[in-house]
Structures are given as C-alpha cells and as structure tokens.
A and B are shown apart, each in its own frame.
Chain A
Amino acid sequence: MDAPLTAGPACLIFTGMSEYVDQIETGESVGLVEKKFFTFGEEAPLVLESGRSLGSVTLAYETCGTLNKDKTNAILVCHALTGDSHVAGFYDENDPKPGWWDLMVGPGKPIDTNKYFVICSNVVGGCMGSTGPADENPETGRPFGASFPVVTIGDMVRAQRRLVDSFGIDILLAVVGGSVGGMQVLEWSVRYPHRVHAAIPLATTTKHSAQAIAFNEVARQAIMADPKWNRGDYYESGRPEHGLAVARMVGHITYLSDESMRHKFDRRLQDRVELSFDFEADFQVESYLRYQGNKFVDRFDANSFLYLTKAADYFNIENQYGDGSLVAAFSRASCRYLVVSFTSDWLYPTYQSKTMVKAMKKNSLDVSFCEIEAPWGHDAFLLPNTRLSDLLSGFLNKICRHCGIGGAA
C-alpha cells in the first residue's frame, strides 16, 4: 500500500512475539496499511493434506510497496506461530504500534518497500482474519471448533500460492520468514521450486525435535485441560482463557534463553521486598509470564493455537519430499538460500540449521549461512540486529542483480 507517511519519521514498537525488549526504535515507517481479504475455493475447494477439504478459504493479507510492471519485485513474508498479516506500518493515525517486523520492512530498510512489493498473509487455521476454527462451518451454521480440519504447513503454503497467483505474480523474488514462518519458506522452496528466486529461512528447522513437540504438547494440554475448552466448542459458552494463557506462558519460555531471563528478571521480586509465602506472583518472571499469558488471550483463539502448533509439529520436509532423506528433499529445490540461526536459540538450535545447509550443499545449491551471536534466544530474529539487517539487505541486493531488477518500481 503506497499511502503517504503519517506516522512520523521514527516510531517505537512493542515486539510481536515476546515483548522482551519493551520498545524498539524502528525508523522510517511504510505508513498506513490496510488489511484486505482474498477468498478462493468456491469452485475448486482446497483439498488439504489430511484428505479433507475446505470449500471456501479466506486469507487476510497486507501489502506494502508497489508491484512493478513485470511483477518481478514481490517478496512474501511468512509470519511465525501466532503472528499475523500486519507485518509493517500502521492501520490509522492513532495506532499505538506498527506491524511485527516494522524494523525490517519499510522504506530504506533491509526489505526495502521503495524497491520491493511485500505481501504478508495470515495463515490458514489462524484467527487474524484468515479461515480458521473460529469461523462458521457453512454446513452447520456454527463455528468449526475442533471439527475444523487439521491443516499443515504445506496447506498454508498452497493457500498462499493462490493469493500470489491472484496478483499475477509468476515468480516471487524471495520468500522470507522466521520460526514457523521459516518452515513455510522451506516448504515454498521445495514445493514450488520454479516460483521462488530466493528463500530466507531464519531461526527455523526442517522438522521439530522431540523437545519442541513436547513443549507444544504441554501447551495444548493446558488448553484442553481447561473445562471451558469443552472439546473446542466454547464460542458461546465462554473461552478457555486460563488454559490459553498457560499455553502462551509455556511457549514464551521457549522463545527466551537462560541468559536473557537472567538479564531481564534474575530472581528479582515483583512489587514486594520479601517472599509472600503464598502463591502470589513473587518473582518478576512469574508476573511477566502471567501478564504475557493474559494479554495473549485478548488477541488469540485457543483452537487456532491447537491447530497451528499441530501444523508445526507435523512439518517434516524429509519425509514429505525425500522419502526420509533431507538431501533427496532438497534435490527438488533450485533457489538461492540464506539460512540464519542464533547462538542462544535452544528451540531450533543451530545444528538444525546446519543440517538443512548440509543437504543444500550436497545438492550444489547456492547457499549462505550465518550463525549470529545473540543472547536473546529464539526471539532474536524479531529484535534489532545489525548483522541480520546487513545479511538480509546484502543478500536481497544480490538476488536483484541476478534477476536484473533495478531501483524502485
């Protein structure tokens, strides 16, 4: 969206995922953006990998920048587990915070909206405007709830492809994303190898470790153990807020690191000078997690959380595309890769990025890899980092040169 700048030259945001850093200077903003909706599948339903199908699918999406005449400057940004289409900019003049990756997407930023046309859509199964379990099931007239079909990362990407098609874009200049967004990036690169010039998977993995599945299962159990969950049928009776808040608290711990928690909280007490000897939130870290959990409940649907974590757990590129071999899976790919991991990310540790880089190298694919020293844990990809910014802008410039894309559209 090419709206004029209204938010002033500099703005502050609260980070989307962990809100670890309270305020971030994000620099010049892309300005006003608008959430739009794309609906497909009425004639040709989306057949999901589970075998079930969705007759009508809506994707909420936002765009920034301008698509050039040849439609060669489009970059698809994929959001993480609980993110949304609001990648950058503001919805209106009074909007207190910009999109979740405003520090990376905007004029003069690494994903430069003066040069690139940026698309970001909310995933299928989500609750930020795209079709998900909170939507009405046309067959029953009631919300899907737990009768919503299980969706996969592949299903999300296939839906995104329909959106990309609707713009008339044959080849994306790049697909970029971190965490579960990075899984979508990897999926794009092997599912539609001829439709992406470059892929940038950040802080991600080709398959969840047992540890990652374990944390997701604890989070899901927290929701399902809440009596209000009611087997997913709670839209009239009242939402399982407590279960969802606990699920968020669990997830949140996995996004941080021992060092970052020690730095931010250590064992400091919250609003007291001595221990309470009851079950109040004595420690700052407890109070912080409770706050994050409660805040999350306001914006997120518990059933969506179940579906999206399941999709992340099911993701397994080597089984899906390589019959158990990651090298065989990446033999389908042909794009250029930039893979980035962070030293303190224990949710998707560096060895998982190295495993994908190894498989790419064995296929003689053009790949760059950097493990960035950062103490902030998995969340590091959402935080200001000069190294990450330089890597992204330099890599994208190279892709532009290879694709013969000049300056502004």
Chain B
Amino acid sequence: MRFDLQVIASWIEPGSRVLDLGCRTGSLLAHLTEEKAILGTGIEIDEQAAGEAIAKGLSVIHGDIYEEIEDYPDNAFDYVILSQALMQVLEPEALIREMLRVGRLGVVSFPNFTHYKNRLQMFFTGRAPLSKELPYEWYNTPNIRVIPIIDFRRFCKHVGVPIVKEVAISTHHHDEQGKVITLLPNLFATFGIFMLGQGR
C-alpha cells in the first residue's frame, strides 16, 4: 500500500466508520477493514475500479464524489478521506465542508507542489515541473490545482477549518516506503497529509 495511505491508516481508530472518496480498487478500505475492523464505504467513479472493489467484498458506490457525498446524513462517518484527489477538485472549499458535514474528521493528502526539485526544475529549465508525483504535461494533466503545503495551511485558516493533525512525507508515488519530513516540509516533502476538524 502507498506510504501516504499507510500514514492515513495509522490515524484511523479501530472500529470507526470511514468514507473513502475516490477509493479506486479499495486498497485502503480493505486494509482498514482487515486491520482495524472499520465500517468502510468507498465512492469511485471508474466502473472497473469500483467493480473490483465491490468484488473484494467492500461496500462501494460507483459514482461521482460530489453527487454521492450529498446523500449521507450529518456525522454519518468518523473519518472522510480524500487521498491524492484534491488537485482535481473543482470546488475544494465546498467539498471539504461537505466532508466535514458527513464526517467528524476529514483526512486530505496531496502532492506538495513546491518540493525543491520542482522549484529547481522551474528555475533552471524555465518549464512547468514534471515529477514522479506530478507526472503530467500541461496538456494532459487531470490536475487543475497546484498545492504547496503552506498554501493549504493558509487556505484552512482562511476558510476556518481547524487542522487537527498534519504530517509531511517524502516518498515515491508508487513506493510503499517513505519517511516523515520535519525540517522545512514545504521544501523537502513530496506529500502533505492533513487531518481536519469540524471547527465551530
């Protein structure tokens, strides 16, 4: 399992109710079900991935996260997870508010755009950065947003969403291993992971 998912998994209390937005084939949900006996649900837009997740015995809704999340009652979940999808979200504030309506806590992970390698690439080549975490050209990227860790913090403050916990990690996208970055994370971390609370 991806290292960022391992970190997220370590945050989840046993026996809790978890909603995974964009769960793909359900590896995080399967892990949490096995290891922590959670009650998990996933939402996945790709038929193949959703089908595989259901065939694994997971509870998954094949559909669009923005539409599907609306149906859940308030506080239906303990955690709502959005891993490596925030870069593709059209209305981040609305989605994060919705996550914190249906869940007590939200967990968000994303690639840190201002990793030093991206900065060097831009500085020396003058081109948009291409990295293992963000491996697309401008014309084929599904990502519509670039998110530095410090900007995400500013965003949370601006919209009044409390950050309960955060960790920055350095890893390869497909690597199952990585390490926590404490020194200058906005420079040295490849991913930021945040736990968000409901606030007032």
A binding-site residues for B, Cβ under 8 Å:
336, 338, 354, 357-358, 361-362, 364, 366-373, 387, 390-391, 393-395, 397-398, 401
Contact = CB atoms under 8 A, between A and B. Distances in A.
B84 interface: no
Contacts of A395: 54-55, 57
29 contacts: A336-B59, A361-B61, A361-B72, A362-B72, A366-B39, A366-B41, A367-B59, A367-B61, A368-B54, A368-B58, A368-B59, A368-B60, A369-B60, A369-B61, A369-B63, A370-B50, A370-B54, A370-B60, A370-B62, A371-B63, A373-B47, A387-B51, A390-B52, A394-B55, A394-B57, A395-B57, A397-B57, A398-B57, A401-B57
A354 B57 contact: no
Among B39, B57, B60, find the residue whose CB has the most chain A CB atoms closer than 10 A. B57
Interface residues of B, number: 21
Contact of B73 (A357, A362, A369): A362
B91 interface: no
A372 B60 CA distance: 14
B56 interface: yes
Interface in B33-57: 39, 41, 47, 50-52, 54-57
Residue with the highest number of chain A CB atoms closer than 10 Å, among B55, B58, B63, B71: B55
A390 B51 CA distance: 8
B76 interface: yes
A321 B56 CA distance: 33
Interface in B156-192: none
Contact of B51 (A366, A391, A398): A391
Contacts of B71: 357-358, 361-362
A136 to B, nearest CB: 47
Given A361-B72, A371-B62, A391 B55 contact: yes
Contacts of A367: 59, 61
Given A358-B71, A390-B52, 13 more contacts: A357-B71, A361-B72, A362-B73, A364-B73, A364-B76, A368-B54, A372-B51, A387-B47, A390-B51, A390-B55, A391-B51, A394-B55, A401-B57
